[in-house]
C-alpha cells in the first residue's frame, strides 16, 4: 500500500513539473529550466512579481533538502535527529506558505480567481496543467508587476510632520496609514494625514486620480477604518461609531432618489429613517420644513422628484442627509453635471450650511468656479511610491502661493504624474509641506 501511494505521489509531482513547464513556455521562458531542483518556484516568483517570495522559496527548498540529507547520516533515535526533523518540518511548512503566495501571483498573471490558490496547494498538478496547457488561460498580466503589483507597497521616503491637532470644536484627523492586502502584499492607500478642521468650515478636498480622496472620506466617516484616530467635537468616531454615524452626513455623487415620489414625501421618509424614534411626528414635520427652507425649495416641495432639474435633485439628496442635522457633512462631486450658475448656487447653499456651525467637506473636479467660497483646501497627492499623502492644507489663496499656481486645477496638474499629463512634482510638494509644518511646530 505504501508503494502505491508513493507511485501516486511521484506521478503527481511529474504532472506538476509538466504543468510548470507549460507555464514557462507561455511566459517566454525556457521550459526545461523546470528540471533544475528548486528553481521552478523561484522563477514563478519572478514571473508573478513576487521576487522576494521566489528567493525565499529557493532558500527554503535548499534548507529542506539539506536537512533531509543530514537526517540520513545521524542516529534515528538521537537528539540531533529530533532537532533536524523539527527543522525540516518547519522549513517545509514555511515553504508551502510561500508557495501559496507565489501561486496567487501566478493566478493574477493568468487572470484567474485567487481562490484557486487553495486548489493549487491541494492539487498543484491540476492547476499547473490547467494553466500550462489550457488554451483559454494566457498570461495577460505578465510584465505588469512594476505598475500593478508593486504600486503602493513602498511609500516615498518623506518624513511626516505629525502635528498634534487637538480641537474640541471641530474635526481632528490623525491618520497614520490606511493599508490593504492585495495579491499577498501590504499596500498603502494613504499615509501620514494629520489635520484639524474647525466648525463652520467649508472645505475643498483636492487631488488627482488615485490620490486617496475617497479613501480619506471613508476613513473619516468610519465606513472603512484606517490606522487612525478621528475625533468630531471631542468624540472619537471609531470608538463611538454607532452614535457618531448619525452625526455624519454623506451625499454620494450619484443621486439615490425615488423619482415617482413627491419631494416632501422623500424628505419625510428620510426623517423617519434618520431621526430617533423618540422624535414626534410634529417635530419631524418641523425638521422637514426647516430643511426645505434651508435648501430654498419652498413652494416646490409638492412636485414629483422626476420633474426636478439636476440641481434641484442634488438639493433633495443633500436634504435627505441634512434631516438628521449632522455635525459633519461630506459631499462627493455635488456639482457633477451642473452648469456654472447652478453649481455656484448649490455651493452657496453649502456655504450657508457651513456658516451655521457645521463642517462641510466636498470633492469637486471643477473647483475654480467656486474656489472663493471655501475656507480651507486640503490637497492629497500620490507620491513616487503611489501612496496618497498630504501635500497641503490651508486657505485657497495660501494654496496658490504655496504651489505657485493661479488656479486649483493647475495645482492638481502640478502634482499629477507626467504620464497623466501633469508635472510630476508630488514628492516635492509633500516634502515641502511636511518641512513647513515641522518648522511651525518647532516654533510653537
DSSP string, 300-366: -TTSBGGGS-HHHHHHHHHHHHHTT--SEEEEESTTTT--HHHHHHHHHHHHHHHHTT-EEEEE-S-
Q: What is the pLDDT of residue 183?
A: 55
Question: Are residues 187 and 135 part of one domain?
Answer: no
- Among 149, 182, 206, identify where a domain stops: 149
**Per-residue confidence (pLDDT) for residue 431, from 0 to 100:** 93
Give yes or no: residues 50 and 193 share one domain. no
Q: Is residue 403 part of a domain?
A: yes
Q: Which domain holds residue 17?
A: 2-149
Q: Are 381 and 211 in contact (CB under 8 A)?
A: yes
The answer as to whether 211 is a domain residue is yes
In a domain, 261, yes or no: no
Residue that is last in its domain, among 93, 114, 149: 149
- Kindly state whether residue 319 falls inside one of the protein's structural domains: no
Cα–Cα distance between 49 and 66 in angstroms, integer?
Answer: 27
In a domain, 155, yes or no: no
Domain check: are 59 and 118 in the same one? yes
pTM of the model as a whole: 0.69
Residues 54 and 145 in one domain: yes
Residue 1: CA atoms inside 13 Å, Cβ hemisphere, count?
Answer: 0
Residue partners of 366: CB distance under 8 A and separation at least 6: 335, 343, 409
**Is the separation of the CB atoms in 315 and 251 below 8 Å?**
no
pLDDT at 25: 86
Q: Is 217 found in the same domain as 83?
A: no
Query: What are the C-alpha distances in Å from 311 to residues 152, 153, 335?
Result: 37, 41, 8
- What residues form DSSP beta bridges with 382? 388
User: For residue 242, how far is the Cα from the chain centroid?
Assistant: 23
**Does 186 map to a domain?**
yes
The tens-digit pLDDT sequence of the chain (444 residues) is 445 556 666 777 788 888 888 888 888 888 787 787 778 888 888 887 778 888 888 887 778 777 777 767 777 777 877 777 777 778 778 777 888 888 888 888 888 887 788 888 788 888 888 888 888 888 877 765 545 556 777 788 887 766 656 778 899 999 999 998 765 568 899 999 999 999 999 999 999 888 999 999 999 999 899 999 999 999 999 999 888 878 898 887 666 667 667 777 777 777 777 777 777 788 878 877 877 787 777 766 667 767 677 777 777 777 777 788 889 999 888 877 777 788 888 888 889 989 999 999 999 888 998 999 999 999 999 998 899 999 999 999 999 999 999 999 999 999 998 888 889 999 999 999 988 888 777 776
**What CATH number did the domain enclosing 206 receive?**
3.40.50.300
What is the tally of structural domains in the chain? 2
Alpha-carbon gap, residue 172 to 229, rounded angstroms: 8
Q: What is the pLDDT of residue 196?
A: 92
Helix, coil or strand: residue 379: strand
Name the grid cell of 116. 484557486
In terms of domains, do 26 and 130 share one?
Answer: yes
Q: Are both 116 and 61 inside the same structural domain?
A: yes
Q: Return the pLDDT at 2.
A: 47
Considering the domain boundaries, does residue 303 fall inside one? Answer: no
Residue 159 placed within a domain: no
DSSP string, 49-107: T-HHHHHHHHHHHHHHHHHHHHHTTS-TTSHHHHHHHHHHHHHHHHHHHHHHHHHHHHH
Amino acid at each position: 500500500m505504501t508503494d502505491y501511494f508513493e507511485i501516486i505521489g511521484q506521478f503527481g509531482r511529474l504532472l506538476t513539473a509538466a504543468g510548470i513547464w507549460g507555464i514557462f513556455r507561455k511566459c517566454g521562458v525556457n521550459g526545461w529550466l523546470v528540471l533544475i531542483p528548486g528553481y521552478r518556484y523561484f522563477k514563478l516568483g519572478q514571473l508573478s512579481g513576487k521576487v522576494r517570495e521566489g528567493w525565499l522559496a529557493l532558500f527554503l527548498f535548499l534548507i529542506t533538502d539539506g536537512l533531509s540529507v543530514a537526517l540520513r547520516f545521524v542516529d534515528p533515535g538521537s537528539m540531533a535527529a529530533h532537532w533536524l526533523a523539527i527543522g525540516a518540518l518547519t522549513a517545509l511548512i514555511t515553504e508551502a506558505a510561500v508557495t501559496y503566495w507565489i501561486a496567487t501571483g501566478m493566478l493574477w498573471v493568468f487572470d484567474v480567481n485567487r481562490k484557486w490558490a487553495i486548489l493549487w496547494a491541494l492539487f498543484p498538478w491540476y492547476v499547473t496543467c490547467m494553466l500550462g496547457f489550457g488554451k483559454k488561460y494566457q498570461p495577460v498580466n505578465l510584465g505588469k508587476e512594476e505598475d500593478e503589483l508593486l504600486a503602493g507597497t513602498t511609500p516615498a521616503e518623506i518624513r511626516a510632520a505629525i502635528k498634534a491637532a487637538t480641537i474640541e470644536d471641530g474635526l481632528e484627523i490623525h491618520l497614520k496609514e490606511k493599508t490593504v492586502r492585495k495579491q499577498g502584499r501590504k499596500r498603502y492607500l494613504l499615509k501620514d494625514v494629520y489635520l484639524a478642521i474647525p466648525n463652520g468650515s467649508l472645505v475643498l478636498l483636492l487631488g488627482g486620480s488615485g490620490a486617496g480622496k475617497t479613501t480619506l472620506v471613508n476613513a473619516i466617516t468610519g465606513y472603512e477604518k484606517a490606522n487612525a484616530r478621528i475625533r468630531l467635537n471631542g468624540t472619537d468616531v471609531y470608538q463611538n461609531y454607532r452614535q457618531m454615524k448619525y452625526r455624519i452626513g454623506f451625499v454620494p455623487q450619484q443621486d439615490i432618489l425615488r423619482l415617482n415620489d413627491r419631494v416632501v414625501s422623500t424628505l419625510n421618509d428620510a426623517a423617519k429613517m434618520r431621526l430617533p424614534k423618540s422624535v414626534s411626528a410634529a417635530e419631524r414635520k418641523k425638521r422637514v420644513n426647516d430643511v426645505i427652507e434651508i435648501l430654498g425649495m419652498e413652494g416646490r416641495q409638492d412636485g414629483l422628484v422626476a420633474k426636478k432639474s439636476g440641481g434641484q435633485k442634488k438639493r433633495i439628496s443633500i436634504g435627505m442627509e441634512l434631516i438628521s442635522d449632522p455635525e459633519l457633512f461630506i459631499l462627493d462631486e455635488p456639482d457633477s453635471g451642473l452648469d456654472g450658475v447652478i453649481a455656484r448656487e448649490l455651493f452657496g447653499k453649502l456655504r450657508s450650511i457651513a456658516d451655521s456651525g457645521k463642517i462641510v467637506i466636498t470633492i469637486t473636479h471643477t473647483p475654480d468656479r467656486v474656489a472663493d467660497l471655501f475656507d480651507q483646501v486640503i490637497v492629497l497627492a500620490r507620491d513616487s511610491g503611489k501612496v496618497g499623502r498630504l501635500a497641503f492644507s490651508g486657505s485657497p489663496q495660501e494654496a496658490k502661493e504655496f504651489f505657485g499656481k493661479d488656479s486649483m486645477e493647475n495645482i492638481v496638474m502640478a502634482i499629477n504624474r507626467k504620464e497623466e499629463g501633469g508635472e510630476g512634482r508630488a514628492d516635492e510638494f509633500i516634502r515641502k509641506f511636511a518641512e513647513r509644518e515641522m518648522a511651525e511646530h518647532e516654533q510653537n
